[in-house]
Structure 1
């Protein structure tokens, strides 16, 4: 049958009865530690701990069970080296040695090694004081001693070693899973992917400090795109109907506080509306519910969440509380949110001001508590109808003369916009809205903006031309994938969500 690598979960049971290479099984793993070396009459023995994908194996190699070359390799093993060990599980007594001869007191699977090969030798001078913990027997639990988040800078400086911890690697795999789930959902919803540029020629006036400028060819200046909305919307003018991009965006965030990244991942989509702006709300709602349910219920992702929970105890505790009448995420208006902050929490929350980060966090804590005025408790909800002075100038107003909806606007929605945010774990992760599609309305809104956008300027002509060609009624939303991962797993620092994070003070590794 030949030598094959056996899944680690089946390794002990899968070996055959003889030691021929043809009938052996092997395991590729990292050397986690050297447990003990011993010399007895006529036999030398080395016991070491192997690690693979969060699972541990106590491996034993004796001078009588291997050739001289293999034993010499075992004598010179270094921590973190990648090795291939050949083993078998029969006879069982080979694995169940007398307790007096066992140095390891753990419950790790015990492997008798018949051959060993170093696939990649780690340098012997790796840091002795590990800044990571894998959860092997005898390792201290960072959550019961020094808070794990307190080691974040050291961990990021040694990110490759840190990422070998299964709990940390699970974060990146869940990130990947969200990408997979979003693409699957959008494909089924008849969306098409559009690759939007990272280098753009426009910049929002008055927001220069938020954008990165890049020297370009022929003396030009380009900007790193903070959003793909402009180019996705132009695709609608080409009758693409329903388009999205999952891409890196750039913001010149001046703080290194664990909440801001200068480079992060966004899912942005736009589509032509059929009847009402609430189609945008419903789509965002359906997408988030689909992703979160899948993360909580599908074994592929549920097992990753359980793996992350060892170092991040909030992982797995996320509450998806849906409205019992509609089966959707709870929805409250902006003014209702402000009222809850005042009446339920006693905060000085003014309707004239945008929701601050502190107010979003307070709302998140309130609505996730057993005493939430909205039942059942939930870690995710939607706030709709933000006031016009808080939203961008080209967001569609909620007024009878503009609204495609025939129903009148009630007092709670007067002088507001067709816009919403989705709050997850006390933090905004989605912003969405309907946008102006009439070029006359857009032109007027641009000129009234403070500071104004000049629609005939070269950098804005392409965008204006898309509307002048006849833009359908449209809207969309942007989803911050990093914040979704952070909130779902209960991570204190958003840099935990990125294998190679970039913030105001970090450009390495």
Structure 2
């Protein structure tokens, strides 16, 4: 990019702060910055070399003037390749604000650096894939929103370069923030972290195709699809309130933007004092706490603003709460009636919600057309029918055809599933042996779980939160693989 291209469409540029170097446009003492080379160096009049650099979404116009830098720095600058990592030392001052050539007409501020020394930290190999045209640099055309989906497989194939885009990196930082907020929430409520094994020996009959089997010495092990079994056993050891945030594995055959074969679950179980609504309330409070923190804390607001340039759904999430600060709750049967009566869909009470039905409910409750409360992008479905839930879930007291279970639907797809689980050994034994695909409670793989109930299991329950789904829904990401730096689905094992 020629140096003349760096002085168009002048607008107000925000103040650049870094270690107190520049405030209100005033240059201070020399400082050093590490940055990536965004475009090839350009030699201009009087031997001045101009380089466009970037760091975390901030752009730097580095000027190397022959009478201000040593010869070695000037020579190094002229041979720089795109994506090389350099350290520049000099005086920094706010430059112009430039408008990049996107449909969004976004102003980009450029900081000017009068370089006194330049050191190459790492020289990048030249390559055509280095520039994915998503950084939003001045005078750089960013593909419009409707055509970015076609770039996604290319981005995944070049994931490390893609992650250098500030909007992409913001997703992974938000993911980390959700983990941080959730763990802090649980710590304040006396939960203890209990790591659960990734290798297990049990399986659920009739569901073998959902699990990955792997050789384990002289026998076969499976990759854990949940930590619930071992977390439950921890309650039998009187730990009372436990959680794990871990990788789980499912044999999801579809590469549909909604499923991963390897994803992150936050799972927690705890002793119940009264009834199953304690589980509902904890899930409600946790999710509201996380979302409000993401919407109100400055560091997450900054991430949202960074992401919005490529992901227009970022910052639009609606958290509609009732007068008690709770999420909207609707029973399974009531939700089915909404689908039929308010949305005109044919939906049977005996069938689980389809993907389309979940999405339709989500759109309705998020719209101004809803008559059920404030528009919201997240709500709770309760009292799922017995035949749609696991055999070891408590039956609802008010309706024996339903269960003490729930799902949280966030932007049209489930992100939390929870329930109260049987704690009586006799009831669990009967549930296992009478399910459609019976479990042998005396088999070696199930004996530890059964023994946990034999020796006295407290009344208990809990839920699992899919962090990938939460991040995807909160920012309205199209593909769940965008939430993972190194995603794994049915079609992808690289990078």
TM-score, length of structure 2 as denominator length: 0.92
Name the SS for the 1:484 alignment partner: helix
Deviations, residues 83-122 of structure 1 (Å, cap 9, x unaligned): 11111258x9xx89xxxxxxxx975121111110011111
Q: CA deviation at 1:130?
A: 2.7
Change (3 A) 1:58 1:185: same
Deviations, residues 46-73 of structure 1 (Å, cap 9, x unaligned): 1111100100011100111111111111
Tell me if the contact between 2:260 and 2:481 (Cα under 8 Å) persists in the aligned partners: yes
Aligned to 1:323: 322
Between the aligned partners of 1:432 and 1:106, the Cα distance in structure 2 is 45
Between the aligned partners of 1:15 and 1:350, the Cα distance in structure 2 is 65
Aligned to 2:204: 204
Change (3 A) 1:89 1:166: closer
**How many residue pairs get matched?**
470
1:16-95, aligned counterparts within 5 Å? 24-34=30-40, 36-40=42-46, 44-89=47-92
Aligned to 1:372: 370
Q: Aligned match of 2:124 in 104, 117, 122? A: 122
Aligned to 1:481: 467
Aligned to 1:141: 142
Q: CA deviation at 1:33?
A: 1.1
1:383 and 2:378 aligned: no
Q: CA deviation at 1:36?
A: 2.7
Name the SS for the 1:195 alignment partner: coil
Q: CA deviation at 1:131?
A: 2.5
Tell me if the contact between 1:236 and 1:471 (Cα under 8 Å) persists in the aligned partners: yes
Between the aligned partners of 1:309 and 1:291, the Cα distance in structure 2 is 19
Aligned to 2:256: 257
1:33-432, aligned counterparts within 5 Å? 33-34=39-40, 36-40=42-46, 44-89=47-92, 107-123=109-125, 125-127=126-128, 130-143=131-144, 147-217=147-217, 219-324=218-323, 326-399=324-397, 409=398, 413-432=399-418
Deviations, residues 176-195 of structure 1 (Å, cap 9, x unaligned): 00000000000001100000
Name the SS for the 1:33 alignment partner: coil
Deviations, residues 433-477 of structure 1 (Å, cap 9, x unaligned): 000000000000001101100101111000000000000000000
Between the aligned partners of 1:376 and 1:81, the Cα distance in structure 2 is 50
Tell me if the contact between 1:200 and 1:225 (Cα under 8 Å) persists in the aligned partners: yes
Q: CA deviation at 1:16?
A: 10
Between the aligned partners of 1:375 and 1:147, the Cα distance in structure 2 is 36
Tell me if the contact between 2:41 and 2:77 (Cα under 8 Å) persists in the aligned partners: no
Change (3 A) 1:195 1:376: same
TM-score, length of structure 1 as denominator length: 0.89
Aligned to 1:450: 436
Q: CA deviation at 1:278?
A: 0.3
Tell me if the contact between 1:8 and 1:27 (Cα under 8 Å) persists in the aligned partners: no
Change (3 A) 1:451 1:88: same
Q: CA deviation at 1:7?
A: 5.3
Change (3 A) 1:106 1:447: closer
Aligned to 1:102: none
Name the SS for the 1:434 alignment partner: strand
Q: CA deviation at 1:138?
A: 1.0
Name the SS for the 1:486 alignment partner: helix
**Which region of structure 1 is more displaced relative to structure 2, 414-423 or 7-16?**
7-16
Between the aligned partners of 1:17 and 1:36, the Cα distance in structure 2 is 24
Change (3 A) 1:448 1:297: same
Tell me if the contact between 2:17 and 2:23 (Cα under 8 Å) persists in the aligned partners: no
Name the SS for the 1:303 alignment partner: helix
Tell me if the contact between 2:92 and 2:112 (Cα under 8 Å) persists in the aligned partners: no
Name the SS for the 1:74 alignment partner: helix
1:507 and 2:493 aligned: yes
